[in-house]
Structure 1
Amino acid sequence: MFSGSIPALVTPFKDGKVDEDAYRRLIDWQIENGSKGLVPCGTTGEASTLSNAEHHRVVEICVEQAAGRVPVIAGCGSNDTRNALLHMGFARKAGAAAGLCVAPYYNRPSQAGLIAHFSFLAENSDLPIVLYNVPSRTVTDIEDETVVELVSKFPDRIVAIKDASGDLSRVADHRMGLSSDFCQLSGNDELWLPHSAAGGSGCISVSANVAPALCAEFHEAIAANDLVKARELNDRLFPLHYAMFSDASPAPAKYALSRVHAWLTDEVRLPICAASEAARKAVDDALEHAGLV
């Protein structure tokens, strides 16, 4: 259902508010440079610091500006099932193609709780769901058996997974347990290449914020089975993948974007702070290595 380079978009801020003009320019730049989808209000979009009104406005802007050129997978996750459903309802009305639903964080639900949570969302909304498994942030891991049970129960509702567990064996585990139609997207830029080799169809990427054309070209090389070119591009991008997490995300990504575009600032919201000097150096070096500055 989804494939290619799909940036998990930053949310530009200016003087404490969402910078709508900069966001629209960022969306156009992403699409013009080959991104195959957009994810507003994910982790990189600082969704956890947005009010519900801001969250919905950011999704609305993204859908409006994309104007059907690429699908929008709207961040809809919450540690409150009812609030996740609220986000899904708005995203559906706004015209999003799917909702990215992270495992509830802080609550630490059991696997039974995860099944109940995602089942409730699937039963009460017709918006397709992309599961988002990122145990490093949520603590709770959506185990393979849980994914298989949920997708088998709701094959027309739960259509994909963004896996940021770092466990590449899961790609094969999911393929063995489910139809080949189930879409698997990497949530780790540095694992994009082996994830694709194992059966993944693309990546919801942080680095693509800064290097959309390179990331799109990288995916095209993978899709064409041009391993030599894919390795070459992977080597160019690899330092950037790590630099994006050289400080609390998305501070390094926003700093990198401010280096690439004068119309974007590196402003973040507390409790995230601006990238440290060490992180800025890592980003500067990575941008130079990739040929982006």
Structure 2
Amino acid sequence: MAIFTGAGVAIVTPMHSDGSVNFDKLGELIEFQIANHTDSIIITGTTGEASTLTEDEHVECIRFAVDKVAKRLPVIAGTGSNCTKTAIYLTKEAQKAGADGALVVTPYYNKATQKGLIQHFSTIARSTDLPIVLYSVQSRTGVNILPETAAALNRECDNIVAVKEASGNISQVADILQMTQGDMDVYSGNDDQIVPILSLGGKGVISVLSNICPQETHDIVAKFMDGDVEGSRDLQLKALPLVHALFCEVNPIPVKTALNLMGMEVGPLRLPMTPMEEANRQRLAQAMRDFGITVK
């Protein structure tokens, strides 16, 4: 059984003006997501600026999200690291906190071989009972999880059950699904490829767009799953200009900017992320207005 089916939000980590985590605001964002039918909360991922959280902050954010959600929907904790030992620690802490799954990104900077990826992910998987979602995003980490590697991990480890596929390569997604014959769930890691991946048998999306459009992103998946492929496709195409604006600078710069433009007051980014360039900010604001979002 899938950890979730639908649109899971890769939720931002709101900050106070001094750069500390704003847990009160994080609670508000979680409630906003649940009220607007998000299907899962993915905490401390790339969009949550996990790479600049301390280990203590990282674990505290996971605990907070699990407690706030209170089993109303699944919580998946980002627990990846380029250090296998650190990833094991974070994954164990996520299990202790009561998370429903762990999202584990490919080791960044190290650029492990495919053999190294198998050893890395299988070692983490053996350390926990949590279902593991592999996260393949070569554009950020420098290494791709090949379909053969994903399939081998799925065969070797019962709790490696899914992959967040952000390679942008639809053929690779098709190969993963063919090689695993339904034993491995696939979530789109790109908001502009939700419908194409669903058409191949994907279970949904782990979404940046959901931060600002949770209902609409949920509906893209729900309509497809209910057989309204045309309605799903129309929503996907309508969202494309906004999706492109949300990625005109590196994530999560635009999405935190968008939330602030909506009056959500999620605060600043942590260095080395910097404020959005004004021209891009104006482009984003216009795309939001065109989509029907009120910009303050």
Tell me the secondary structure at the aligned position of residue 235 of structure 1: helix
1:148-159 matched pairs, under 5 angstroms = 148-154=151-157, 156-159=158-161
Considering only aligned residues, what root-mean-square deviation do their CA atoms show, in Å? 1.1
* 1:32-90 Cα deviation digits (max 9, x unpaired): 10100011110000000000000011111111111101101100000000000000010
In structure 1, what is the equivalent of residue 138 of structure 2? Answer: 135
Tell me the secondary structure at the aligned position of residue 43 of structure 2: coil
In structure 1, what is the equivalent of residue 290 of structure 2? Answer: 289
Comparing 212-221 and 174-183, the one that deviates more: 174-183
TM-score, length basis structure 1: 0.97
In structure 2, what is the equivalent of residue 218 of structure 1? Answer: 220
In structure 2, what is the equivalent of residue 14 of structure 1? Answer: 16
In structure 2, what is the equivalent of residue 189 of structure 1? Answer: 191
Comparing 192-201 and 48-57, the one that deviates more: 192-201
Task: State how far apart, in whole Å, the 2-side matches of 1:194 and 1:182 are.
Answer: 17
Tell me the secondary structure at the aligned position of residue 38 of structure 1: strand
Query: Which runs of 4 or more aligned residues in structure 1 lie more than 4 Å from their structure 2 counterparts after TM superposition?
Result: none
Match of 2:95 among 82, 92, 96: 92
Tell me the secondary structure at the aligned position of residue 153 of structure 2: helix
Question: Is the contact between residue 248 and residue 273 of structure 1 (CA under 8 Å) also seen in structure 2?
Answer: no
Percent identity of the aligned residues? 41
* 1:119-169 Cα deviation digits (max 9, x unpaired): 111112212110000000111111111111110011x21011000000111
Q: Does 2:39 align with 1:39?
A: no
Tell me the secondary structure at the aligned position of residue 79 of structure 1: coil
Structure 1 gaps of 5+ residues are: none
Task: State how far apart, in whole Å, the 2-side matches of 1:164 and 1:285 are.
Answer: 26
Q: CA deviation at 1:248?
A: 2.1
Q: Does 2:125 align with 1:122?
A: yes
Structure 2 gaps of 5+ residues are: none
Task: State how far apart, in whole Å, the 1-side matches of 2:100 and 2:266 are.
Answer: 29
Q: CA deviation at 1:230?
A: 1.4
Question: Is the contact between residue 171 and residue 199 of structure 1 (CA under 8 Å) also seen in structure 2?
Answer: no
Task: State how far apart, in whole Å, the 2-side matches of 1:144 and 1:236 are.
Answer: 31
Task: State how far apart, in whole Å, the 2-side matches of 1:9 and 1:40 are.
Answer: 6
Match of 2:201 among 186, 189, 199: 199
1:265-284 matched pairs, under 5 angstroms = 265-284=266-285
Number of positions where the alignment pairs a residue of Structure 1 with one of Structure 2: 291
TM-score, length basis structure 2: 0.96
Question: Is the contact between residue 6 and residue 208 of structure 1 (CA under 8 Å) also seen in structure 2?
Answer: yes
